[in-house]
Structure 1
């Protein structure tokens, strides 16, 4: 069992060693987890109101064990869908997320199923090559190039409106950092004698911290110094700062969660569209982490410029690849990684000489003056019968994977 908690979001994970049958989840034979049984009419009733009513149940889970005594918590729960009867429950994850001024709880049951028989490849199935990256284009941020054998290339582009949402995150972070500095200065210069006990001791403890971090300030804002004192005793300036600081913190937290969720949902929809009628997915295995960790020879500054790193964080290529791999596994599509040759050769004459910068789009060959999109050429090389790839790494679809 793993537990993550604190002042913010939290997660409790119960891992069932070897897995457990679905029946054991409902009959109370498991010591770690139990769900009150639900009527079959919760899924079969023609009346929506009856289904919603019957889907209400209770979830009991062990949160920790201390001195041999098991501590169990019970939550009311609505099961949105049934757990397949022929699977085994491997893990139960209970999460808590802040939504405005309230908390939202969710439970996820991680299950495994026996693999179905191999489905024959659909007629007209295609091999797909995908090159993941991040390039600023007029209509947004290109995060992937998709080339399907026998078809014109397509691109996954984050719209400009989404880039503006991420820019707002950076702006809110800057404003929050300024608010942190202001709050620390106000509390550090506050007069201890103007506060009664025990609030005077709380402020003294905060002022005694040599290097105050944002987390120290956040804890102090939620302490009894503000919660148990009247506004007049705290001071109007300090009270107004805390109110604005909390509002800014919640704004940043909620906006970041929504923006990242919109991006991931956008990725999922685009990937589902790209994998239609696919028989194999080949991803260019770009070592993004190694590139980001590089340093220039002259200084310790990053090899990747700050603005490029900013776009990389927005694109989140690892999240795109994770979603791509997950959708490929669900559809039992072969998923492979190949490292394409870099830099790519001119598709016309095969030369490596360029008239343009390495990051320019399009590239112009110095030998034959032809222009080409290096991302498209990289994908086409992955689909060629004899690809010029230096490293091959295959990731086989798991034989048993189902999440409820």
Structure 2
């Protein structure tokens, strides 16, 4: 590839205040986008059912899956029996016979699934014509849904693109697309055909997007407060075009950093999402810049091994250990203790809200609703029959009660007092989570850059987050992870760190490689020995006697394996 053909993607994201001229017609555009997504999800569901029917009607496949179902049902009955015995006699009661049967069934089911995979592959080859016809039918249905959506082309293109991307991921991981309930969250997409220069953006020469020009010293003024004032501007974006009429909306915007002048703006996305009881708006500019990446990254022959995970330490959570193939000391990526404590506070707030909600529901059930107005009694079925009721549903009863205080004024005051207290805790919880996630994201962005800078290859251990998240393993055993470990996994979110490593590596042209690691391999002698205390951080090899940090040992094993 020639040097002048290389492109660099630049993204700028800015906060927006509430729009000045948003209307019901704009709301309807977001609703139609949600309806298009659900229609596409429905098309995918129907297509998947037809595909599965084509495959499962094969006699060999059908026979194997009947055996899997029979073995799984028998295993489930054994697990229930074991659980019942332990419940009656305590967890320490011996159940060796049941354990062995469950383990044997797990091996049998695993073998059957491997056989089923081969059988499905043969069945796909036999049903090749039907599968190709299904794909043609799916694409035609997607095209028709897009045409009938009533959406502007920029918005329906964004939905279809997200659908195709989600569909590929679902097929690869064995999942399926989910329907989405419309809660007002959405995005407006302006694709700029041919791109738009920064001068055009500020000059209001483009029909789709415009930003009011800022003073020249908006980013250079010596006073921070004055810079913040000068960075206030307004964004005007197209929401849709119908019958030749363009509908635009204007938002006050804080442009806290400039867009490089040599950028070509290709896409502008305005996003709205729910944050507690209010809306949060932001705009994202996706741009390209011409130039060579050769000056940014030259071969250093340096390989970095990253052991992802989570380990609670006094100073926080160690989320990654980094070892390089040179004399550089090992790095430990730590989520600080104050972030960990912040997530613990969220759990505390949730617990307090649950307790308050349960108490108020119990109190509501004691009231005599015989003479209550109909506007209030319509809420009773949910209160009396539902296995779970949200705090928002109870709050809606309090709001409806405002107009009927003459029925039971004292009861209304009691419920309203609960609603205000719950809302205060809810806002505290929502904002606490938002700030912590933002801090963690910024931390991972910076740590990831430090990992990949001046690096050719990044080797990462394969971390099966999905498997670790399960409460019950496929072989019928309970997940060995403690409850606290599961909580720290959600706090550390190692998969997000991996995502940022991949993003930063892609920026500089480094390669990311994933390695499956065998447990308890010694980096010095290669022996595999199960330690007596597997949860200890410092481990001693029983074969050669070397003592090493467990995570550093994993990184060194990955480096050795990669260099072979």
TM-score range for the pair, normalised by the shorter chain length: 0.7 to 0.9
SS at 2:379 equivalent: helix
Counterpart residue number, 2:427: 250
Counterpart residue number, 2:487: 310
Q: Are residue 205 (structure 1) and residue 382 (structure 2) matched?
A: no
Matches within 5 A, 1:135-284: 135-149=311-325, 150-192=327-369, 200-209=373-382, 210-211=385-386, 213-215=388-390, 217-219=391-393, 221-222=395-396, 224-225=399-400, 228=403, 232=409, 235-284=412-461
Highest Rg: 1 or 2? 2
SS at 2:342 equivalent: helix
The answer (yes or no) to whether the contact 2:306–2:460 under 8 Å persists in 1 is yes
Structure 1 unaligned residues grouped into runs of 5+: 389-404
Separation (CA, whole Å) in 2 of partners of 1:333 and 1:98: 36
| Greater strand proportion | 1
Match of 1:80 among 228, 252, 256: 256
Compared CA separation, residues 67 and 232, structure 1 to 2 (3 A)? farther
Compared CA separation, residues 112 and 151, structure 1 to 2 (3 A)? same
Separation (CA, whole Å) in 2 of partners of 1:7 and 1:334: 40
The answer (yes or no) to whether the contact 1:92–1:107 under 8 Å persists in 2 is yes
Compared CA separation, residues 366 and 382, structure 1 to 2 (3 A)? closer
In the TM superposition, residue 170 of structure 1 has moved relative to its aligned partner by 1.4
In the TM superposition, residue 10 of structure 1 has moved relative to its aligned partner by 3.7
Separation (CA, whole Å) in 2 of partners of 1:9 and 1:251: 22
Match of 2:549 among 368, 373, 387: 373
Separation (CA, whole Å) in 2 of partners of 1:107 and 1:264: 18
Q: Residues 131-158 of structure 1: CA distance to partner in whole angstroms, max 9, x if unpaired?
A: 1101123433211001122222121122
Relative to structure 2, which stretch is displaced further, 341-350 or 70-79?
70-79
The answer (yes or no) to whether the contact 1:203–1:225 under 8 Å persists in 2 is yes
Separation (CA, whole Å) in 2 of partners of 1:141 and 1:53: 39
SS at 1:170 equivalent: helix
The answer (yes or no) to whether the contact 1:89–1:111 under 8 Å persists in 2 is yes
Separation (CA, whole Å) in 1 of partners of 2:331 and 2:221: 43
The aligned length equals: 379
Q: Are residue 319 (structure 1) and residue 493 (structure 2) matched?
A: no
Structure 2 unaligned residues grouped into runs of 5+: 1-28, 35-179
- TM-score norm. by structure 2 comes to 0.57
RMSD over aligned Cα atoms = 3.8
Separation (CA, whole Å) in 1 of partners of 2:529 and 2:409: 73
The answer (yes or no) to whether the contact 2:192–2:265 under 8 Å persists in 1 is no
| Greater helix proportion | 2
In the TM superposition, residue 228 of structure 1 has moved relative to its aligned partner by 4.9
Match of 1:13 among 188, 195, 215: 188
Compared CA separation, residues 66 and 174, structure 1 to 2 (3 A)? farther
Counterpart residue number, 1:118: 294
Counterpart residue number, 2:213: 38
Counterpart residue number, 1:346: 522
Compared CA separation, residues 56 and 346, structure 1 to 2 (3 A)? closer
Match of 1:57 among 233, 236, 245: 233
Compared CA separation, residues 241 and 46, structure 1 to 2 (3 A)? closer
Separation (CA, whole Å) in 2 of partners of 1:222 and 1:53: 40
In the TM superposition, residue 320 of structure 1 has moved relative to its aligned partner by 1.0
Separation (CA, whole Å) in 1 of partners of 2:257 and 2:338: 34
